Amino acid sequence: MINFILRGILFCAVVFAAAPAYCGQPVESVVKIFVTSNRMDFYRPWQSHGISSSSGSGAIISGNRILTNAHVVKDQTFIQVKKHGDPKKYTAHVLAIGNDCDLALLKVEHESFFDGTKALSFGGLPELQDTVTVLGYPRGGEKLSITEGVVSRIEVTTYAQSARQLLALQIDAAINPGNSGGPVLQDGKIVGIAMQALNAGQNIGYMIPVPIIEHFFADLEDGAFDGFPMVGINYMNTENGNMRDYYGIPENGGVLVTRILPYSSADGLLLEGDVILAIDGVEIGEDGTFDFRDSERLDMPHLISRKQIGEEITFSVIRNKKAQDVVIKITPFTPMVPYPEQFEKPTYYIFGGMVFTVLSTDLLQSWGKDWWQKAPVNLNYWVVGDGRQNDEKAKDLVVLLNVLSDDINVGYHGQGNVIITKVNGESFLSFEEFAKLIDRSKRSKPFTIIETISGTQYILRNDNIDAIDQAIIERNNIPAQYSADVAAWLQSAGSQ
């Protein structure tokens, strides 16, 4: 019996040596990705965190392209790839990136890299309890790792890269750092891309399923990634019988619209108090789910995210106890506090030694992985509190980050992490408007009055302030008084 087992192991080894496969797995189609990156520092927006190195995995697909995770190559300055059994590294570059869905496509500069490889094709969506195989290059070794797992859950979940709620599959195969971007296979075909793991659990990994990958490819057909759509609504379930009677909801199904976000696709079309019964003819349950397949159900947002920006979507609603259809054309939408990875470089403006920037999730992440607990409460309020409702209809929130000490700002030293709402008593809706108000003030008024959301005022004398700011940024080794986008705004306004 022991000899029989040994012969089986040796047989696999012989097959591996004779052909680029290990016990039937297409190892020649999986690559290791080496990334040099330089991430910007959103708390000190004029500088970066410095050079760092990391690695991930990828899958060779049609067109001599490599599919991987967006987070594997984010902030990259240089990329190399290496295939199984080849000691040479080849330079690659990013062909396309979709932060929403944590996917990226790479192109290798030398086509010879693909000699002896085979492009993987795509399968379908696995069933619960199906066995899948994860291939990749996790930490802990240099060789290709092959593990098996079972699909344990199919649901809409939060993608760590973007904080977007998209379809994902949970598997019990180990997904460790370095595995990211590697293919998840069933019958030799890609059924997912390894994405992230749940640190609080054991062997709880997540993969990006084929429907999300196909959406990514379809989005790129026009040469640009527009992202996954949002219509901009908040809603609640209608399980309570009294609520259903009050709104005239039929016996089964429906969710209540509680909020329409300003500037969203739904703004002016859906109304607070509408009851959504169906989306594109698919009935919505009273718990906000819909029939997916067999006895499975998925959360309603999947019906929206599977559409492309620019397409139309039909909501069947009850409004004032009367049924009607509302057709919405989906337009691009960014929440007031943008999701992670929306900025290549942070926006900032230094005035009177006071550093101003845009409130973003990238900025909040400066407080670490547990930023929602550690970042200032008054800033988190706009992301995880009622502030996210955007009652003020702001497009950006301006933050005073900190103060670079100087005679001009004595008394304000140590101030920071507060929301700015007015300049000389005038409100604004965006950082661009804020920057132009500051620039106009310093050129036409003796003082500039900057006011916080709580009414605190910072008053600066405008005499010689440009020279003062120049001295401040030189003393603090800061390359520029403001970011390139601010410079462009001021120039277009004729201020520069």
pLDDT tier, 21 (very low <50, low <70, confident <90, very high otherwise): very low
Residue 491 dihedral angles phi and psi, to the nearest 5°? -65, -40
The answer to which of 110-124, 131-145, 432-446 has the lowest mean pLDDT is: 131-145
Per the CB < 8 A criterion, the answer to whether 372 and 384 are in contact is yes
Tell whether domain 1-227 is in CATH 2.40.10.120: yes
pLDDT of residue 12: 37
CATH 3.20.190.20 domain extents, the chain: 348-492
- Polymer length of the chain: 496
Over residues 330-342, the pLDDT tens digits come to: 999 888 898 888 7
Structure tokens that stand for 167 in this block = 């379809």
Q: What is the pLDDT of residue 22?
A: 56
Q: Taking 70 as the threshold, does the pLDDT of residue 457 lie above it?
A: yes
Alpha-carbon distances, residue 284 vs 31, 250, 261, 278, 307 (angstroms): 42, 12, 21, 5, 17
More confident residue, 11 or 446: 446
Beta-carbon contacts of residue 446 (< 8 Å; ≥ 6 apart): 461, 462, 463
Is pLDDT above 70 for 6?
no
Residues of the chain with CATH 2.30.42.10: 233-329
- Average pLDDT in the chain: 91
24: pLDDT confidence band, cut at 50, 70 and 90? Answer: low
Question: 200 falls in which pLDDT band (50, 70, 90)?
Answer: low
pLDDT top residue among 77 and 85? 77
Say what percent of the chain tops pLDDT 90: 81
CA distance 94 to 99: 13
Query: In this model, does residue 10 exceed pLDDT 50?
Result: no
Catalytic residue among 29, 54, 180, 441: 180
Residue 318, pLDDT score:
97
CA 495, CA 138: separation in Å to the nearest integer? 52
Q: Is 71 a catalytic residue?
A: yes
The domain over range 348-492 is classified in CATH as 3.10.129.10: no
Q: Which of 148-152, 368-372, 445-449 has the lowest mean pLDDT?
A: 368-372
Instruction: Tell me how far apart the terminal alpha carbons of the chain are, to the nearest angstrom.
Output: 84
Burial profile 332-348: b = 16 or more Cβ within 10 angstroms, e = fewer: ebebbbbbbbbbeebbb
From-to residues of CATH 2.40.10.120 in the chain: 1-227
Q: Say which CATH superfamily domain 233-329 falls into.
A: PDZ domain (2.30.42.10)
Catalytic-residue membership of 102: yes
Given this model, what pLDDT does residue 344 score?
A: 82
Q: Please name the amino acid found at residue 44.
A: R
Q: Is the dihedral of CA 150, 153, 156, 159 positive or negative?
A: negative
Which whole number is the average pLDDT over 244-273?
94
Catalytic residue among 37, 55, 57, 71: 71
Indicate if the pLDDT at residue 270 is higher than 80: yes
- Is it the case that residue 475 has pLDDT exceeding 60? yes
What is the structure's pLDDT at 375? 94
| Residue-level pLDDT at 174 | 76
Check pLDDT > 60 for residue 61. yes
- Tell me what pLDDT residue 13 has: 35
pLDDT at 212 over 70: yes
pLDDT at 201: 64
User: What would the two tokens of residue 391 be?
Assistant: 């009652």
Residue 295: its pLDDT value, please? 85
Compute CA distances 355 → 29, 193, 435, 446, 481, whole Å: 48, 40, 12, 21, 9
What was the pLDDT predicted at 393? 83
Q: How much of the chain exceeds pLDDT 70, in percent?
A: 94
Prediction pTM value = 0.89
Measured at the CA of 75, the angle between CA 70 and CA 76, to 5 degrees, comes to 90
Read off the pLDDT band of 394 (50, 70, 90): confident
Range 270-292 average pLDDT: 97
Give the model's confidence band at 154: pLDDT under 50 very low, under 70 low, under 90 confident, else very high: very high
What is the average per-residue pLDDT within 361-386? 90
User: Which one from 102, 299, 439, 469 is the annotated catalytic residue?
Assistant: 102
pLDDT category of residue 297 using cuts at 50, 70 and 90? very high
